[in-house]
Structure 1
Amino acid sequence: MKLTIGSKSQQVKDLQTTLNQKGASLDVDGWFGELTAAAVASYQRQVHLPITGYAGKRTMAVLNNEPRAKFLSLSDIELAATELDVSMATIAAVAEVESNGCGFFDCHRPSMLFERHVFYRQVSKKDKSLAAVLSQKYPNICNQKPGGYTGGSGEYQRFNIAYMLDKDAAIGACSWGMFQIMGYHFSLLGYESAEAFKLDMEMSERNQLLALVKFIKADTNMHKALKGHKWAEFAKRYNGPNYKKNLYDSKLSQAYADALEFMPESDNAAA
């Protein structure tokens, strides 16, 4: 769920009512306009959440007094910006476009997507004959072709079977957390094992963001493109050759412009 500019529903009314209880002065009309966006941003700043101006899963959870230990905070954005020597608005733009919005499913397990063709490839690196056998017995788990997606937390059903067959290959075959970082990158990111990477992704969105920092630092040209706001080059290196088809460069540019409206003044000055 994401309530943003233009949303109109009972959920928006409930959001406005809750924001008023937190100190806002909104008309409870069910229309998410500029004033509601400003109230959301003000609340996010007040409780040290990433400042977006829209209400997603993270903001709604905190508004409803749910535990927030696993959720990303504004200080985490600041830490990532410092580590990469970029502005907070730059990190916010990447988090907006290159993340799936929240690092955890409602079941509190880290968000992830299992790729059966990657599992096949990972197993093949160790034993091609085993990969062939598994592809015959478990075609939705081990397959040369992508597909078979369940979506959402249902992906854990396929992952659990793969994990019983080969733990490292299963972890490597998943894109993990907010930023969908493939598990097979664990060594590149400095983790001693695939299992250590998985455990880190299970801890918090902060750890997921810091994994992104490591991923960007591992590619000097990607890091340089990010620092220079060369969105096309950054998107090409992060998303691959189809970045243009999906307009990732345009989305990053717009997200950066939007983030400048909400980031602290000191961040705007540095941008």
Structure 2
Amino acid sequence: MENLRGRGRPFTGLGLQAAVTAMGLDPASDLPRLWAVLTVESRGFGFQPDRRPKLLFERHVFSRETDRRFDKRAPDLSNSEAGGYIGGAAEYERLDRAVALLADAGQAPEAALRSASWGLGQVMGFNHETAGFPSAAAMVAAILDEEDEHLMAMAGFVRAHKLGPKLKAGDWEAVAKTYNGKNFAEHGYHIKLRQAFEKFSSGVSRDLPIRRAQAALLYLGFGKTMGDVDGVLGDNTRRAIRAWRLHAGLPDSDRLDGGDFDLLMAAAGL
């Protein structure tokens, strides 16, 4: 679905603070809890390199949403059992095929959109009402351009499921069950959440301008050099900065000094 490519703007400090507050968390002390969830759910960034929101298509949800009518025809897309994941941009191929199945049956794509988890917080499409939208299509349209919208959709989900107190208490089993279902323990989601929280509580700084620069580098094709968009100025990010500077005809350096940051933002359209 090429029409789902937007601007891909990383979240802002104001957007982050508004979402954390809306979740019932303390912006001064609870950010590691939010970062833990984002890291486990989406590796901490809501867009793919092509600026489409990250998604994961859930075939068991699609089967349920369509009353099993496509189970025999396309069991890799419609199945009572979860699975069939490909990951990355290939998940859009699965979504496209599901939309095509619906179109052949004279139906709108809503059931397919409801069957995927979306963006930074990986909110399921069927949770659109708790995220504050009248339909999955409306939710997806809202998150195409700004990660701030990803955060607010997630905040709606957290509020609706009363996850704020559980996040504050570090009840990772409850958080994992709400996010990933009753079989969360099979995949160790609660363990991953706890480990991520411990990591983010260790004092490693998350710098939003660096995170923004990393997003720009990702969009410009330097993702393999850089690694994750995580707001940490590590060796991988420095290598990506150096590669971009050489590509842009700038002096050799692994820093973004002076107007270099603005040049990078302009090059990426951010």
TM-score by length of 1: 0.61
Map 1:1-271 → 2, pairs under 5 A: 70-86=9-25, 87-124=30-67, 131-132=68-69, 134-164=70-100, 165=102, 166=107, 167-220=109-162, 222-260=163-201, 261-262=203-204
Alpha-carbon contact 1:113-1:176 (below 8 Å) kept: yes
Question: Could you list the per-position Cα deviations for residues 92-133 of structure 1 after superposition, in whole angstroms to 9, with x for gaps in the alignment?
Answer: 222223333321112211111222222121011xxxxxx43x
In structure 2, the CA distance between the partners of 1:138 and 1:235, relative to structure 1 (3 Å rule), is: closer
Alpha-carbon contact 1:77-1:91 (below 8 Å) kept: no
Aligned AA (1:240):
G
Structure 1 residue 135, shift from structure 2 partner = 3.2
- Provide the rounded CA distance (Å) in 2 between the counterparts of 1:189 and 1:236: 18
- Provide the rounded CA distance (Å) in 1 between the counterparts of 2:118 and 2:61: 14
- Provide the rounded CA distance (Å) in 2 between the counterparts of 1:263 and 1:83: 23
Gaps of 5+ in 1: 1-66, 125-130, 265-271
In structure 2, the CA distance between the partners of 1:256 and 1:150, relative to structure 1 (3 Å rule), is: closer
SS at match of 2:167: helix
- Provide the rounded CA distance (Å) in 2 between the counterparts of 1:242 and 1:68: 35
Gaps of 5+ in 2: 1-5, 207-270
Structure 1 residue 68, shift from structure 2 partner = 8.0
What is the alpha-carbon root mean square deviation over aligned residues? 2.7
Alpha-carbon contact 2:44-2:120 (below 8 Å) kept: yes
SS at match of 1:158: helix
- Provide the rounded CA distance (Å) in 1 between the counterparts of 2:186 and 2:83: 20
Higher relative contact order (CA 8 A, sep 6+): 2
Moved segments of 4+, more than 6 Å: none
- Provide the rounded CA distance (Å) in 2 between the counterparts of 1:140 and 1:229: 36
In structure 2, the CA distance between the partners of 1:156 and 1:244, relative to structure 1 (3 Å rule), is: closer
- Provide the rounded CA distance (Å) in 2 between the counterparts of 1:68 and 1:159: 21
SS at match of 1:137: coil
Alpha-carbon contact 1:97-1:255 (below 8 Å) kept: yes
Aligned pairs, how many? 190
Structure 1 residue 69, shift from structure 2 partner = 5.4
Alpha-carbon contact 2:8-2:147 (below 8 Å) kept: no
Structure 1 residue 194, shift from structure 2 partner = 1.8
Structure 1 residue 169, shift from structure 2 partner = 0.6
Structure 1 residue 200, shift from structure 2 partner = 1.7
In structure 2, the CA distance between the partners of 1:154 and 1:255, relative to structure 1 (3 Å rule), is: closer
Other-structure match for 1:5: none
Alpha-carbon contact 2:132-2:153 (below 8 Å) kept: no
SS at match of 1:175: strand
